[in-house]
Homo-oligomer: A and B are copies of this chain.
């Protein structure tokens, strides 16, 4: 609280206010100076990785932001999760802006069938390649691609070769834990989601609206 700050610093409220205004003025000047150097505009390759929550959720957040800006979005799900009801229902509100393909076949520990997983991954990558290379979609989400790369169902070199050919303004978002080093190296923006605290540990189950 304001009162507490005043008590702690020994300054009056008016002195705190003046000091604050001065500090913020300097902060704004510094920010503006940095922003002025940021002039390049290009499509980004974005990777969300790490063991924490929010990798796919943040990617879906980017999808909705893009939709709100009138952009066209392609989504390929490399692992067909059961927990996608919410996003799917919302995406159906924007049929003219979204191309959605769930070509994966369930988690690897659900199928327990390596050849089926490999075939599904290859089919999904074929669809992804078309979305990455076309001139129609502005943003492409490759959800859980990192998982199939980790199992070597696809070769990361093949993925990077296609990303190199993408139209300059296209954004590509790739999610999944254990992102390959080559992909991190190639990407423009990489965020690692780290779990500091997880309710699963204390016996809380996955819940509609939060987990799926």
Contact = CB atoms under 8 A, between A and B. Distances in A.
Interface of A: 1-2, 4-5, 16-17, 20-21, 24-25, 27-28, 31, 35, 37-42, 44, 46, 48, 50, 52-54, 56-62, 64-69, 71, 85-90, 93, 108-115, 118, 138-139, 152-155, 171, 184, 187-200, 202-210, 212
B54 A191 contact: yes
Contacts of A4: 152, 155
A62 B90 CA distance: 12
B114 A87 contact: no
A202 to B, nearest CB: 8
9 nearest CB pairs, A to B: A68-B86, A65-B86, A57-B61, A61-B61, A58-B58, A68-B89, A54-B58, A38-B205, A190-B196
A59 B57 CA distance: 8
Contacts of A112: 20-21, 24-25, 28
B65 A17 contact: no
A118 B16 CA distance: 12
A90 B68 contact: yes
Given A1-B154, A205-B41, A28 B109 contact: yes
A95 to B, nearest CB: 13
B35 A64 contact: no
In the complex this chain forms, how many copies of it are found? 2
A64 B61 contact: yes
A86 B57 contact: no
A175 B97 CA distance: 29
Contacts of A48: 54
Contact of A88 (B24, B39, B68): B68
B66 A114 contact: no
Contacts of A202: 40, 188
A40 B204 contact: yes
A67 B90 contact: yes
Given A2-B114, A50-B194, A60-B61, 9 more contacts: A24-B112, A52-B192, A57-B62, A64-B87, A65-B212, A139-B210, A189-B199, A190-B197, A192-B196
